[in-house]
Amino acid sequence: MNYGYQKDEFEQECNTCGAKFKVNVPGQIGHEESEEYFCPECLCMYKTRASNTPTVTLISGRTDGKTFKCKSPYED
Ligand SMILES: [Zn+2]
């Protein structure tokens, strides 16, 4: 698979559950649009500009002490 280049990599703290995760954003000139990625703990959705779905790696677990997961926008 051709992912172009690694556009960005950053750490993010989920503002819903407090989990920390690393986001690896693939880029490809001329093929970047708003791509979704999800918090690995609560599945809350975020978006960034990328050429493909960003890869998410969990760093530390949620800190809110809860177990709910955000509702998928693709489910009823
Ligand atoms: Zn979360």
Distance 69 CA to ligand 1 centre (A): 8
Give the distance (Å) from ligand 1 centre to CA of residue 7: 23
**C-alpha separations of 24 from 33, 55, 65, 71, 76 in Å:** 15, 5, 26, 23, 29
Q: Are 8 and 25 in contact (CB under 8 A)?
A: yes
pLDDT score of 2:
56
- Residue 62 pLDDT: 97
Spacing, Cα 17 to ligand 1 middle (Å): 4
At 25-73, the pLDDT tens digits run 999 989 999 999 999 999 999 999 999 999 999 999 999 999 999 987 6
Higher pLDDT, 54 or 74: 54
